[in-house]
């Protein structure tokens, strides 16, 4: 169970968000605008904040930026109406760790919240010992088991915390980008599932995953993950055994409109949260790099 702050001035939308999250086992607190949200945060810091974009006084973008500055350990998700692709892209730049169009609340809310909570759940180790550690290289060969992704990302985040690669807010965003890359490797790479299956209530997507986990060759494919973490940067390489795709088909500048769609959202988030995202020629391998800020 997580404690989630919902910032929404519409009682109808607030009730919808609260109902979905409570049904999923979470505890919720409601705030009608950004000012009430800041008062609530001053008393108790939640595990996550959901903020509507259109609110009186302080809009969602201003609130997310303020929370990132004052409460960097509290990740934020922006909820906005359809047709707000530019707003979504700006929210990611200002510090949001996720974005959900209102038309996709029913299908995406709980999944996005769980993914973000999993990415931000790593524990902290003794910093005096961590200061003596200068390099960490790891290699993993994983079955295509989605249950392994959250623990793996949590372990990477723990190491980045020890190496002080970035602040808490940035580490959460890096973790979200890694989760998206790993999801792509399993679902789109090894399982060869189309993002279009996520449309509607997502039942076709869930049924597709269930089937592919028990069918050959999909169930036999592996994910290969390498990490190289130093005081200066964190570098991750993720490779799948699927058919791949043509990386040249990806636009040099991703269209923020993809944040409104089932397909393309992972690439947008990866590029928003990492300094470098590159694919090999077959599209089976992606390398993600985050560098420590200078100064």
pLDDT tens digits, the chain, 295 residues: what are they?
A: 899 999 999 999 999 999 999 999 999 999 999 999 999 999 999 999 999 999 988 999 999 999 999 998 899 999 987 656 778 888 888 999 999 988 889 999 999 999 888 776 643 334 556 567 788 999 999 999 999 999 999 999 989 988 889 998 999 999 999 999 999 999 999 999 998 888 777 889 999 999 999 999 999 999 999 999 999 999 999 999 999 999 988 876 655 555 555 556 788 889 999 999 999 999 999 999 999 988 6
Strands 135-143 and 222-230, how do they pair? Answer: antiparallel
Tell me which residue has tokens 């929370």: 67
Q: How far apart are CA 132 and CA 27, in angstroms?
A: 39
Torsion of CA 206, 210, 215, 221, to 10 degrees: 80
Q: What structural domains and CATH numbers belong to the chain? A: 3-119 (3.40.50.2300), 127-291 (3.30.565.10)
């Amino acid at each position: 169970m997580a404690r989630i702050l919902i910032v929404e001035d519409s009682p109808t939308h607030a009730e919808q968000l609260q109902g979905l999250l409570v049904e999923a086992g979470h505890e919720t607190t409601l705030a009608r605008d950004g000012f009430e949200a800041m008062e609530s945060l001053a008393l108790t810091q939640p595990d996550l904040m959901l903020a509507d974009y259109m609110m009186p006084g302080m809009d969602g973008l201003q609130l997310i930026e303020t929370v990132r500055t004052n409460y960097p350990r509290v990740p934020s998700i922006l909820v906005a109406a359809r047709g707000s692709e530019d707003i979504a892209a700006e929210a990611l730049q200002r510090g949001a760790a996720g974005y959900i169009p209102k038309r996709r609340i029913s299908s995406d809310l709980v999944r996005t919240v769980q993914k973000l909570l999993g990415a931000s759940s790593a524990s902290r180790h003794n910093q005096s010992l961590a200061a003596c550690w200068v390099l960490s290289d790891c290699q993993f060969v994983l079955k295509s088991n989605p249950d392994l992704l959250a623990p793996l990302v949590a372990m990477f985040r723990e190491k980045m915390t020890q190496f002080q690669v970035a602040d808490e807010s940035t580490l959460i965003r890096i973790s979200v980008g890694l989760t998206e890359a790993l999801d792509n490797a399993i679902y789109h790479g090894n399982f060869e599932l189309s993002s279009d299956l996520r449309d509607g209530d997502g039942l076709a997507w869930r049924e597709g995953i269930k089937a592919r986990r028990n069918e050959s060759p999909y169930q036999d494919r592996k994910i290969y993950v390498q990490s190289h973490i130093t005081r200066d940067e964190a570098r991750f390489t993720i490779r799948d055994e699927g058919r791949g795709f043509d990386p040249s088909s990806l636009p040099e500048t991703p269209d923020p409109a993809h944040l409104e769609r089932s397909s393309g959202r992972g690439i947008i988030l990866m590029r928003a949260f990492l300094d470098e995202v590159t694919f090999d020629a077959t599209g089976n391998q992606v390398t993600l790099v985050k560098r420590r800020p200078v100064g």
